[in-house]
Structure 1
């Protein structure tokens, strides 16, 4: 969007040089008419947090930012460790039980009057038992652990989906906020000169006090809005630094300047897509929907495991007894099996059956929520995009053309300075609202991407090649 900032200089210069009677006014050498807004002046509104020579301006591309997110984001790194922990649970579930060794040694042998006699005259018993899990418990435990790991993987992708959406929204917000800051800085610089000239004219009784106060009020509101916008930029930059977690970007003096090709943004046309296709993609790609599905499978596998747990396990192994039976050296076999008379794992089986019913209802509800989220996000993107396209080429151009007529009208004294200031404030509101509309449009588009779970509306340069390992859930 072209804002034609030269308009403000053309508009406001006459305020400083022409009185209502058309007389030229002299400049005062000490007047703030010649004062320029400087980044190095800490007392000037619109100044940055650090002077220009200390500030580190960083041009940031969205693809580079996404790469840093996948690489450095601490929440994603923690989620990866969580996946590894769940995969370790799969290994643990497949392990066999350790054998049990039992040793019984007599303390005092009567025949030999010796303590702890381990010779043939003493009594020693050694028993070894191994537990064998029946009913396919190991395979079922492994299945449950695998599904638990898959749930963790989908939770990782769901977290990545949220973080990527936040990154893109923050990136575009900073970009359009910075455009608005430039607009305010140029406007404030021109208005300050106009106010200074009007003060001189008021002292000469060339203009009314009401006109001067009107201009000062306009300047005050511009500065106030500019500083509020500057604070929002700092807040968004802080969010971006946390998301990227890059050492060279951690300093407070780092200022991000996103690089955006607006033609690629304009090429995104939500109305070119169909809601049914987006809903279908959401069912296939939403990580949280996959989590709900995997959770249902987990409960089904857990039910099978609980049925297997009702089957008692067998413990079997050899036993050797020396000097403790009718035989000097006794060899035998021991076997142990719990008889499922009272405890047949009924409670856990019923709980697993009810858990399946719960998960089924939760899955159905999640599907319904996803369908409605996609529909709402898609409708919002269509409305924002249609509003943007309706006014971007006509509304701003009409204002720009009207500004030329307003200049001529003021120079010919067809309108007063108050009328001209009202026009300027209206034009300022229109430019700012258009920038806000562009921000809202990109946020609405990102809402569609988030609701679908797939980057269906992503501006891609010609040389863009998605990384299947990183973008598997996003592109």
Structure 2
């Protein structure tokens, strides 16, 4: 699968992403709930025993019954403030979801590129291992005939063991990374990442067209984690406003019909009720909301400092790795392959000793592995910058 195909599968199938979408739906439900009015209250009072007329349930035209309806009217902008607070929580949920998408997509891309370069390392080690193993078999046969010393056989065995250990470590990494890729894409089968050499070359030649200070400013404008902390501070302020409004008493309005038992028969009356605001009934929650604002402001400041520091570190790491890699010229890599072919050919012709051959093979193996590691780290550090800045910076 190409990187684009992996990202499409990730968007459709990632279970963590699918589950996180419900957080937004839950926040929308909170908004709906905040808009709902209190239901009116109906009360009914019926006569049970009439001792004067020796009747039970005397509720007819000569009996007694009472009906009342009460409605609570919320004052002080409580409902409006609660709705505003609920809407801010939805915005937070949306930012958190967006941040999760970015973080998981970055993990996907890092895993994809890691597999690509680790498989290249594995292929190169396989080629070396195949050649050295065949050579070892030949030396073991010659040793049995007394034509070569056991010391030479052991030297080759050490080289084979080193290559096998490298291959095992690389293969184990690939297995783990492919399992991660399966989880991220929601695939039921193993995925084989595919990318052309031309596309890899284009990715290697990318450079940010803005300096470090501009990168940091872009990160402050676009990084969803930081924007979430800003929104949390705003939400805390809305919560304080809501908690303050809860100190304002609400009004209850009612209408009541009384057949008998009031000042007049068949009386219709209206009623009004409001608590006496002798003290703040929500003072504790109001204080708590005020403290939460101060806490969220400090968290916002801390997140800003961390983000600027992370961008600074990631940019310097990328820049250092990029410069280190490009101190090696393209012909240097070709020279390594030419020297490898030349050493192998001359060894086969007897022009190179076994000691020189094994020393070269060990150096060649380490150099190849380091080169692929350098390439991988360039890609991963670039992805780290992309994840932090969250806007296009490489061209």
What TM-score does the superposition give when structure 1 sets the normalisation length? 0.79
**Does the Cα contact within 8 Å between 2:89 and 2:235 map onto a contact in 1?**
yes
1:426 matched to which residue of 2? 363
Worse overlay, 187-196 or 258-267: 258-267
Q: For the Cα contact (< 8 Å) 1:269–1:385, is it kept in 2? A: no
**2:187 maps to 1:264:** no
Equivalent position of 1:208 in the other structure: 149
Aligned pairs (5 A) from 1:276-295: 276-295=213-232
Q: How does 1:12-91 map to 2 (within 5 A)?
A: 60-91=1-32
Aligned counterpart, 1:125: 66
Quick check: 1:310–1:344 contact (8 Å CA) kept in 2? yes
Q: 1:295 to 1:221 in 2, by over 3 A?
A: same
Structure 1 runs (4+) greater than 4 angstroms displaced: 411-414
Is the Cα contact below 8 Å between 1:111 and 1:121 reproduced in 2? no
Which residue matches 1:164? Answer: 105
Q: Which residue of the other structure, out of 345, 348, 370, is the alignment partner of 2:285?
A: 348
Give the SS at the match of 1:328: coil
1:97 CA displacement: 1.2
Q: Structure 2: where are the runs of 5+ without partners?
A: none
Determine the structure 2 residue equivalent to 1:114: 55
The answer for the alignment partner of 1:329 in structure 2 is 266
1:29-82, Cα deviation, whole Å (9 max, x unpaired)? xxxxxxxxxxxxxxxxxxxxxxxxxxxxxxx11111111111111111111111
CA offsets, 1:237-279, max 9 Å, x none? Answer: 1111111113xxx14xx35132242122122124x43111111
Q: 1:405 offset after TM fit, Å?
A: 4.8
RMSD between superposed Cα atoms in Å: 1.8
3-state SS in 2 of match to 1:317: strand
- Out of 373, 376, 382, the position equivalent to 1:436 is 373
Offset at residue 216 of structure 1 (A): 1.1
Counterparts of 1:212 and 1:455 in 2: how far apart (Å)? 55
1:332-411 maps to which residues of 2 (within 5 A)?
332-391=269-328, 393-407=330-344, 410=347
Distance 1:146 1:255, change over 3 A: closer
Counterpart position of 1:189:
130
Return 5+ residue gaps in structure 1 as ranges: 1-59, 459-475
The alignment partner of 1:217 has SS state of helix
Give me the whole-angstrom Cα distance separating, in 2, the residues matched to 1:70 and 1:313: 48
Question: Residues 219 and 307 of structure 2 are in contact (CA less than 8 Å); yes or no, is this contact kept in structure 1?
Answer: yes
Q: Secondary structure at the match of 2:111?
A: helix
Count how many residue pairs are aligned between Structure 1 and Structure 2: 393
Cα distance change of structure 1 residues 106 and 233 upon mapping to structure 2, 3 Å threshold: same
8 Å CA contact retained: 1:317, 1:334? yes
Q: Does 1:450 align with 2:387?
A: yes
Q: TM-score, normalised by structure 2?
A: 0.94
**Residues 7-33 of structure 1: CA distance to partner in whole angstroms, max 9, x if unpaired?**
xxxxxxxxxxxxxxxxxxxxxxxxxxx
Deviation at 1:376, TM superposition (A): 0.5
Partner of 2:170: 229
CA–CA separation in structure 2 for the residues paired with 1:428 and 1:255? 28
Within the alignment, does 1:143 sit opposite 2:80 as a pair? no
* Kept in 2: contact 1:162–1:450 (CA 8 A): yes
Report the counterpart of residue 275 of structure 1 in structure 2: 212
Determine if contact 1:112/1:121 at 8 Å carries over to the other structure: no
Cα drift, residue 457 of structure 1: 3.5
Report the Cα offset of residue 101 of structure 1.
1.1
